[in-house]
């Protein structure tokens, strides 16, 4: 028992000697502590290795997250660009649709106007240039007699310098004379009418058979005062009152 009580603990002494010979120090390190030191070093190395591993893993995770974030940002930018492109295409299509709708409306309006004009023209035969609606004489004149069944023409007293004119567009189908009239001019109109210009006295003729005339063209020029002009309108081979045709033209 006494031997165990007086047994000294083993230790390792470390002596630090100063160059000047002063302040020398001695440290005693217990042997169990020395035996524990490798385990501590191993533990420190393990902890450092774990920290290095965690740091490496964290760096990889951060790198992966950064890569994913960059990819998502690129995807968002791509989607934004596609959205802008789609909006631009939508605007272009909207503008084209608006233009097409406007063109369609204009075409419909033009067609409606054309149809209305055709209906108006059909309702108003005087709108046809071949319709003999003009008064057949320009210049001073006197109406001698009106149309009757016994006298199917207008009798007009004309004066020198006045002109006998075509009542509508047509073709001269006759230009001659007989025992009563010095000049007989007949014009056929595509509207189904014929007009005859019958001059009792000699006058200056401006057309010949086969000539195409337009409304207002000069057929005869009166050279003698008080020349009688008989004007006749024929429709479907029957004479009609010329004033009814002229009045229809307004």
Query: Quick check: 171 and 210 in contact, CB under 8 A?
Result: yes
The CATH class that applies to domain 137-249 reads mainly beta
Residues ≥6 apart with Cβ < 8 Å to 144: 155, 156, 157, 228
Backbone angle region of 237, left / alpha / beta, with phi > 0 → left and psi within -120 to 50 → alpha: left
CA 26/CA 37 separation, integer angstroms: 20
pLDDT of residue 249: 46
pLDDT of residue 155: 96
> C-alpha distances in angstroms, 235 versus 96, 183, 199, 211, 231?
54, 22, 21, 21, 14
Residue 121 structure tokens: 């023209």
Q: How many CB atoms lie within 10 A of CB 229?
A: 26
Query: What parts of the chain have a pLDDT lower than 70?
Result: 1-24, 26-27, 29, 31, 34, 119-127, 247-250
pLDDT of residue 124: 57
Task: Find the farthest-apart pair of alpha carbons in the chain and give their distance in angstroms, rounded.
Answer: 191
pLDDT of residue 113: 86
What kind and span of H or E run contains 27?
strand 25-30
Domain segments of the chain as ranges:
1-123, 137-249
Query: Quick check: 156 and 246 in contact, CB under 8 A?
Result: no
Measured between its terminal Cα atoms, the distance across the chain in Å is 160
pLDDT of residue 250: 44
């Amino acid at each position: 028992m006494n031997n165990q009580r007086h047994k000294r603990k083993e230790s390792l002494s470390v002596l630090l000697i100063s160059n000047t010979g002063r302040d020398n120090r001695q440290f005693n390190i217990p042997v169990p502590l020395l035996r524990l030191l490798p385990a501590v070093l191993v533990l420190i190395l393990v902890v450092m290795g774990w920290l290095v591993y965690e740091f490496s893993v964290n760096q990889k995770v951060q790198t992966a997250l950064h890569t994913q974030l960059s990819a998502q940002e690129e995807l968002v930018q791509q989607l934004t660009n596609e959205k802008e492109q789609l909006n631009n295409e939508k605007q272009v299509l909207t503008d084209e649709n608006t233009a097409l709708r406007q063109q369609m409306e204009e075409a419909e309006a033009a067609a409606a106007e054309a149809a209305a004009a055709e209906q108006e023209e059909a309702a108003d035969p005087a709108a046809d240039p071949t319709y003999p609606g003009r008064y057949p004489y320009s210049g001073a004149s006197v109406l001698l007699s009106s149309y009757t069944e016994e006298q199917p023409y207008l009798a007009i007293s004309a004066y020198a310098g006045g002109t006998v004119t075509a009542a509508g567009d047509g073709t001269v189908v006759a230009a001659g004379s007989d025992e009563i009239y010095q000049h007989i001019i007949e014009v056929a109109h595509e509207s189904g009418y014929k007009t005859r210009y019958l001059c009792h006295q000699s006058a200056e003729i401006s057309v010949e058979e086969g000539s195409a005339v337009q409304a207002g063209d000069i057929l005869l020029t009166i050279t003698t005062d008080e020349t009688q002009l008989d004007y006749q309108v024929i429709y479907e081979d029957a004479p009609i009152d010329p004033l009814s045709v002229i009045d229809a033209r307004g």
